[in-house]
Structures are given as C-alpha cells and as structure tokens.
A and B are shown apart, each in its own frame.
Chain A
Amino acid sequence: MLTAVFGVAVFCFWLFWLPHLMVAREGMQLFLWNTDYLMERLTMPGGLAQYLGEFIVQFFLNPVYGALWYAVLLVAAQLLMWRLFSNKRSLLSNNLPLFSNNLPLLRNKAWLLSYIVPLVLWALACNPNIPMTPIVAVVLTLALMNLLPKARKARFVTACVMVPVGYWLLGPAIVLMVIAPITSIVYHISLFVLLVFCIVGSAWLTPYPLRQVARGIDYYWEGDKVGTYEEMEYDMEMRRQRWEVMATKVEQPPTLKSVSSAFLMSEISLSMGMVNLSQRSAFEAMEAIPNYNKSARALRRLVETNIITGQYDVARKYIAILEETTFYRGWARKMTALMDHPEQIKDYPLYDRLKEIYDNGKDQFFY
C-alpha cells in the first residue's frame, strides 16, 4: 500500500512539479533504433545503463509518460531494496546485526530503510547535471544484487563475475554490490580490488580521463551548460506557444550560454521570423549538450529552418536520421512529403510566412 502511495507521489511530483526538467532532458539526446547507436554505447563502461536511460528519456517528450517512468523506476528501486532486506536468502538479512533475529522489532521496521535508496535516486534525478544513466544503473545493480546466491562461496564466485560484467554494463554503481552485502572483510577487499582494476583498465581502453571513468562516464555532467530550472520552464512554455509566460515572467532575454536558454532563444527567434538565428540557436543548443549527445529536438528545428531557407539536401539528411527515432519519425515523413512537393508549404502557414520573411528580408549580421 505504502509502495503504491510512494509511486503516486513520485508520479505527481514529476508531472506537476518538474515537467520542464523532463522535457529538457528529452531535448538533450537523439535515441536511434540502430545497431551503431547501441554498439557505440556498449563499447563504454556504463553503456547499457546509458542506453536504457536514453531509451526511457525519449518518452519524456510527453511528461505523463516521463512521470510514469520515474514512478516505475523508483518503485522498482524500493521493491528491490525491500527484497534485499526481507528475503531470508539475502545477505543483508543474514549478516547485518540490524536484521538479526535478536532485534525483531527493527527487522519489522526494515521497510522504512528500503525507501532510502529510492529517495536518494529521486533527489539525484532532480539535479539537471545528473542524467538518467546512474538512476538506471543503481536500479539494475539492485536487481543484480538480488540474484546473488546465498551460499558464501557461490556468492563470492558470482560476485566476481558480476562486478566486472556489471561494471562494464552499468558503470561504477556496481560498487553497491561490493559494499552492501556485508560478509567478510576479505570478500569486500577482493571485490574492491577487482572493481579498481576494472576502472583503471577501462581508462586504458576508453578515450576518457581516469577521473571521469572512475566517476562514471555519463553519471555526472560538469559545468552549467544544461541550464537552470527557470530557463527550462520558460523553454517548455514557449515550446507550447504560451507567449503570456514570456510576457509576464521572463525578465531578461535568453542567451546562448546553456542548452535550455539556447533552445528558448531558438523558439523565440523562430516566432519572430528570425530563421537563421533560430537555426543557430538550435545548433548551439545541440553542441552544448554536456555528454556530446546529439538532439532530436534540435534536428527537428534544423529540418524546419533548412526547409524554410531552401536547403533541402541537408534537411533530408536530418530527416533520414529522425526517421530512426521513435517519436519524430512520423513528423519526419511529413516533412519528406513537403520537400517532395514544395508547393505544399501553403499547408504549413508558419513555414510559409517565415519563408516569405526570409526570402524578402534584408541581410544583416548578428553576433
């Protein structure tokens, strides 16, 4: 019952409190249904977690689905933690004094502790600089920990396999497996050495500095390129054509200093008929994404601006890429039809008006 309430709370929080963060996250990736995209991620430690995280984030285009995903992930984390605590085969319940039979009262209250990890994940997910990768990685690590056998020797052998494999697939979150199932100091030291070996080895294999590999290649984004909550909120409202928000709330004009403000700039300038500025802003937004991802949202805008400015060949290139996405595919096909029959631009009043402005405008420079 409490789990269900927790799930509903998570859902409502994301849907009503931070939908703009979810929308902003969706704008910072280009999830493609092709093997190159998958392999590119699987060749990096933590790559499976990143891939699955990006798979989930593509649904954030609609905040209802996004909130639902967060609810599912955090409830899963809680249930997995609870299973770790409550399952008699699990290590924690057999070894932690807290859960020993000598302290049955505390053992009965262990469900409270099962909320610690999901609450921490919830807090982390609210940080714009922490992508979905570590959230997914922790949930999957908890799942792996539930698979550890009870017998000490078998558990050690299984962990020795799971730590390197899990590290490569999920990243440093696998450290939970090293520290959580408390058994013997030798067990911990052995697994810790193994994990350190994996991290150092990965730094040799991958084109990232050791400190970034140790921290998790896509676990944390340095810098302030993502943008503030405020910028994200305005951007989301502008995307929904809610001009009154801009008129009443925005005190300073957007700049190109972050992904969110650049997207906001792109939305505003397109609405004002400044197609090239909108194009530049979308491109800058895409290039500012901290983990070097590309952006389906930016590509969509670039398709629009390139159609308006008559650069069909490059628009077709972007469309071909968007056709490998889940949620931009249908729109991309419509744009292909538009380019095949440019006279149909009359059916798109915004593009038609912008094309007229572009074709007849006097060239000037902006900086």
Chain B
Amino acid sequence: MAKISSSINIIKVWVVCLCLMGCHSKPENVSKTDALPEIYPDYVDVTIPVGIAPLNFAMADETFDALDVEVKGSKGGTIHAEGAYADFDINAWHQLLEQNKGASLTVTVCARKDGQWVQYKDFSIQISSDPLEAWGITYRRIPPSYEMYSQMGLYQRDLSNFDERELLQNTRTPNQCINCHTANRTNPDQYIFHVRGDHGATVIGSEKREVNGEKLELLQAKNDKLGGSMVYPYWHPGGRYCAFSTNKTSQMFHTTKKNKRIEVYDSSSDVFVYDTETHTILRDTLIMKKYWAENTPAFSPDGKWLYFTTALRQVYPTDYDQEKYSLCRVSFDEKTGKIGEQVDTLINVRETGKSVSWPRPSYDGRYLMYTQTDYGYFTIWHPEADLWLLDLQTGETRPMTEVNSDRAESYHNWNTNSHWFLFTSRSENGLYTQVYFSHFDNDGQATKPFLLPQHNPRQYYRRLLYSYNTPDFTLRPVEINPREMGRRIENQERTATKTK
C-alpha cells in the first residue's frame, strides 16, 4: 500500500514537472537579426538609478507571444525572465543593479512570433552612480477631462517596487476636487494641497511646525480680500513661507483646431507669499499688477529669490494666442517676509515670442527647468509644450531635446541632488499623461527618459483611463491617514487667513 502511495506521489511530481516544462518554452531554432527589439515601454539604452523597480517590458508588437530575456551586468551577475512579458524577480533585479552601480547591463531579447524565435541585437541599460535620493514619488491621478470630473486622488508610489498607496481619494470626500500635493524640496514632513468644492480647503501638513498642537491645518479655501483661491504652491526652503498664485481660471473649447481641445486661461492672476506662522497673505503690488497676469511662482533653493511668470493680459477669446508669459524673479527676504523692489526679467517674451510656465529651479541652484509653449500657461493642453533649460550662471536657454516629443511635456521637478528629474508626457497617445524619469549629468545633459515602471506595463497603461498629474519625488513615504484626512475635510472647521 505504501509503495502504491509512493508511486502515485512520484507520478504526481512528474506530471507537475511536465506541466511546468510545457508552460515554459525555451527558444529553439533561433534566427538572429541586427535590429534592436521594439519593446514597450521603450527601455532601450536608458539610464536608471540603483533602487529603481524592475523595468518589466513586453514586445511592442503584440503578435509576439513569448519572450526570453537575459540581463547581464558588466560587473557581473545575470538575471533571466521569460513568458508573455519580461517580469523580473524584484530581489534579483535590485541585487544586479547594486552590483553594477556605475556600470551597465546588457539585455538580450529573444521573442517568438508565429512559432519562430528571433534574437535581437543586444541593448544596454546604464546604471548611474548618482543616487535617486527618493523613496518614491507622489502624484495626482485624474481623467483628462473637460469640466466634469469623476474619481481622482493623490497617491504615493514606492519606486523600488510597484506598490502604490493612497494619500487621499475623492471617494472619501464626495464631489470634491483634490488638487496637487506639493512637498517642500521632496520632504514629506511638509506638504500642501487644495480641495475644491463644498468642503474646499487648503490643507497644510507639517511634522515640524505644529500649530496649536496639530500637525495638520485646514485653511479656508478663499480669502475675500484676495478675491480667489490659493493656487500653484511652492514652498520656501525655510518652511515658513509658501508662494502661491491666485487665479480666476476659465476654459474654452476648440471646434476644429488640430490636436487641440481645450484652452485654459485666467481672466486674472497674481502671485503672493503666505506666512504659515501668522496665517497671513503677504501681498505686494510688484507681483500683483493690475494689467498683468503673474503666475506659477517658485523659490530659489537658497530662498533669496522668487521666480514667477507674467504676461500682459489679453482679450479672450479674440487674442487668446497672444497671452505669453515671461520669466521673472524678484528678491525675497526671509527675515521680513518681504520681496525686493526690482523685478528682473530672465526670459523675455519679446525676444522669444514664446510663453514660459512652471519654472522649477534645480536644488543645486545651477539650472531652472521650465515648460515652453506658443502661448498661454496651461501646458498640458498644448501639444507643442516642451521642457526647456535655463542655465542660471550663463543665462543661456535650450530645449531639452533629449526628452521632448512632439506632444506635451510638462510638470517637471528635480530630485534633491539635482541629478534626476521627472516630468509628465503625453508622448504615448497624445492625451493620457505618464511619468518619465531622466538622468541629468554635470554637463547639463539629460539622458533618454524612461517610463515609470509597472509590473505588467502594457496591460496597466492600456487599461488606465487616468492621467498622472504634478508628480514629484518624495524622500520618504508621506505619513497621511486618508480616513482621518477625509473626515477633517468633510468637517467644515477651517482656519481663517489674514491679508497684509
């Protein structure tokens, strides 16, 4: 009886083994080609940081039904993946990257189509020795909608794997629009975001700066004297001040403009600085001019300058394509909370004929990255929107051709050592924005961008009917309790703001 049982077990093991062998198809009768493989996402010859999640990929052509991939490190180590798509073991992947820091990986791809295996020309992936200095990223995910909005949320994503966590979804705060999460220099201890709707608020979270024993503060959504909401925040590095714009935003919709759907514009906008300690909105006529639209502020990394964009207001809709923003800066005194008396124009629309938005200085103070469009400032609806780079030492500007496409690039930001940046792009389909990363070297050159990795990237991005919006690095996970946050927002208690 025992023998029979033993024999049955052996047969079971063999059946399982045979099944597994049947599922796994090794490349046979492989023909070789000199062409590089066309893979999705396109990770061919990209540069990545140590610690990034596995760059899983599939063949771009879906008629390939099997893939066999070998990744070999120039300093040693090999990993292997096979199946419908390359799904690398996370631990083995990280070990390989750590082992080959500052070196490269060689990727050998064999793919099967119509029963025939083809081996493509090897491609490489460079592993930078510059650390990412970020646990992950934060972002908002929203549908690329017109006026109505449905589900949206703020999320954080661990960049070493594929885990995503909710910061706040609007299912917790029904019918509210949740706006962009903004940390202070990627530090999750201090952040800000807006909520629009019946329970509107500007939410400020601060681990270090407790107000009345609370780390979370909900400001009233609007200040009557300001005349609008607090929009497009950027923290002063000291953490006490935060620059905002206040915008009266409208939309109009193209009837037959090629590849353009929406024009978002402001009937007015101003820039101001908010003092988180005294709850005071610090206004200055220099950045709140009557016939000018000041917008998209950002502090320099040393906190001594306030960058912003400004445009002479135009008549809508007739002169909509004449509203073009210049890049300016004004000094800022952290001790008094006052701005200087002279505005410098760094990029003048009279010279370029183009419009500047979203200035983002690198944290080492050397560069300023911005988005350039033909007109307007709401870049996501402008296919011509490209990333540009201003060298703050030389004053020279250049398009970042390394990362730009013929579709909208925008919403960029730096990591803390300024050797990596992320941005959103609609390059894949022209509508749904995705997050890309690029390395930035000491000579000011960027590398080919790579798409935010996903476990099964083709399936994930294909099914996703949402855009990634205003991503930023985060040093550590953001400590937010979504349930408690939702409860606080539903509660109408708000802190009033003063104006000065």
Assess whether B171 is in contact with A292, with CB atoms less than 8 Å apart. yes
| Residues of chain B in range 412-444 having any CB-CB distance to chain A below 8 Å | 428-432
Q: How far is the CA of A36 from the CA of B486 in the complex (A)?
A: 26
| Residues of chain A in range 320-367 having any CB-CB distance to chain B below 8 Å | 320-321, 358-359, 361-367
Assess whether A364 is in contact with B255, with CB atoms less than 8 Å apart. yes
Q: How far is the CA of A223 from the CA of B459 in the complex (A)?
A: 34
A204 and B483 in contact, given A274-B255, A317-B432 (Cβ under 8 angstroms): yes
A321 and B463 in contact, given A204-B483, A208-B171 (Cβ under 8 angstroms): yes
Q: Mark A255-290, 1 if CB is under 8 A from B, else 0.
A: 010000010000000000011110110011011110
Selected contact of B431 from candidates A288, A311, A364, CB within 8 Å: A311
Q: How far is the CA of A363 from the CA of B223 in the complex (A)?
A: 38
Assess whether B483 is in contact with A276, with CB atoms less than 8 Å apart. no
A209 cross-chain contacts in B, Cβ below 8 A = 172, 174, 486, 490
User: Is the C-beta of B462 less than 8 angstroms from some C-beta in chain A?
Assistant: yes
Q: How far is the CA of A363 from the CA of B259 in the complex (A)?
A: 12
Nearest-Cβ distance from residue B241 to partner chain A, whole angstroms: 33
Q: Mark B164-177, 1 if CB is under 8 A from A, else 0.
A: 00100101101100
User: Is the C-beta of A155 less than 8 angstroms from some C-beta in chain B?
Assistant: no
Closest to B490 in A: A209
Closest to A285 in B: B148
Nearest-Cβ distance from residue B311 to partner chain A, whole angstroms: 19
A365 and B254 in contact, given A207-B482, A311-B259 (Cβ under 8 angstroms): yes
A288 cross-chain contacts in B, Cβ below 8 A = 148, 150
User: Is the C-beta of B256 less than 8 angstroms from some C-beta in chain A?
Assistant: yes
Q: How far is the CA of A88 from the CA of B480 in the complex (A)?
A: 55
A317 and B429 in contact, given A209-B490, A280-B261, A365-B252 (Cβ under 8 angstroms): yes
Q: How far is the CA of A286 from the CA of B144 in the complex (A)?
A: 12
User: Is the C-beta of B213 less than 8 angstroms from some C-beta in chain A?
Assistant: no
Q: How far is the CA of A320 from the CA of B464 in the complex (A)?
A: 11
Q: Mark B241-258, 1 if CB is under 8 A from A, else 0.
A: 000000000011111111
Selected contact of B261 from candidates A36, A222, A276, A317, CB within 8 Å: A276
Assess whether B151 is in contact with A292, with CB atoms less than 8 Å apart. yes
Assess whether A361 is in contact with B256, with CB atoms less than 8 Å apart. yes
| Residues of chain B in range 121-179 having any CB-CB distance to chain A below 8 Å | 143, 145-151, 166, 169, 171-172, 174-175
- Interface contacts (Cβ under 8 Å), in number, total 107
Q: How far is the CA of A320 from the CA of B463 in the complex (A)?
A: 8
Assess whether A276 is in contact with B145, with CB atoms less than 8 Å apart. no
Q: How far is the CA of A334 from the CA of B482 in the complex (A)?
A: 44
Nearest-Cβ distance from residue B175 to partner chain A, whole angstroms: 8
Assess whether A284 is in contact with B429, with CB atoms less than 8 Å apart. no
| Tally of chain A residues near chain B (CB < 8 A) | 44
User: Is the C-beta of B317 less than 8 angstroms from some C-beta in chain A?
Assistant: yes
Q: How far is the CA of A286 from the CA of B255 in the complex (A)?
A: 20
Assess whether A284 is in contact with B263, with CB atoms less than 8 Å apart. no
Nearest-Cβ distance from residue B491 to partner chain A, whole angstroms: 12
| Residues of chain A in range 198-229 having any CB-CB distance to chain B below 8 Å | 204, 207-209, 212, 222-223
User: Is the C-beta of A113 less than 8 angstroms from some C-beta in chain B?
Assistant: no
Interface centre among A212, A289, A365 (most CB of B within 10 A): A365
A283 cross-chain contacts in B, Cβ below 8 A = 143, 145-146, 148
A320 cross-chain contacts in B, Cβ below 8 A = 462
Interface centre among B320, B459, B465 (most CB of A within 10 A): B465
B483 cross-chain contacts in A, Cβ below 8 A = 204
Assess whether B143 is in contact with A287, with CB atoms less than 8 Å apart. yes
B151 cross-chain contacts in A, Cβ below 8 A = 292
User: Is the C-beta of A180 less than 8 angstroms from some C-beta in chain B?
Assistant: no
User: Is the C-beta of A314 less than 8 angstroms from some C-beta in chain B?
Assistant: yes
B252 cross-chain contacts in A, Cβ below 8 A = 365-367
Q: How far is the CA of A262 from the CA of B482 in the complex (A)?
A: 33
Nearest-Cβ distance from residue A232 to partner chain B, whole angstroms: 18
A188 cross-chain contacts in B, Cβ below 8 A = none
User: Is the C-beta of A313 less than 8 angstroms from some C-beta in chain B?
Assistant: yes
Assess whether B317 is in contact with A365, with CB atoms less than 8 Å apart. yes
User: Is the C-beta of A41 less than 8 angstroms from some C-beta in chain B?
Assistant: no
Closest to A274 in B: B255
Q: How far is the CA of A286 from the CA of B166 in the complex (A)?
A: 23
B258 cross-chain contacts in A, Cβ below 8 A = 309-310
Nearest-Cβ distance from residue A345 to partner chain B, whole angstroms: 17
Assess whether B148 is in contact with A358, with CB atoms less than 8 Å apart. no
User: Is the C-beta of A294 less than 8 angstroms from some C-beta in chain B?
Assistant: yes
Selected contact of A277 from candidates B171, B255, B463, CB within 8 Å: B255
B145 cross-chain contacts in A, Cβ below 8 A = 283-284, 287
A363 and B150 in contact, given A208-B171, A292-B171 (Cβ under 8 angstroms): no
| Residues of chain A in range 99-136 having any CB-CB distance to chain B below 8 Å | none
- 8 interchain pairs (CB within 8 A)? A34-B463, A36-B463, A222-B174, A321-B462, A321-B463, A365-B320, A366-B253, A367-B252
| Given A207-B482, A361-B256, 17 more pairs with CB closer than 8 A | A34-B463, A209-B172, A223-B175, A256-B148, A275-B256, A280-B253, A289-B150, A292-B171, A294-B465, A313-B429, A314-B430, A314-B431, A358-B256, A361-B255, A363-B256, A363-B257, A364-B255
Minimum-distance CB pairs A-B, first 5:
A361-B256, A287-B148, A313-B429, A292-B151, A365-B252
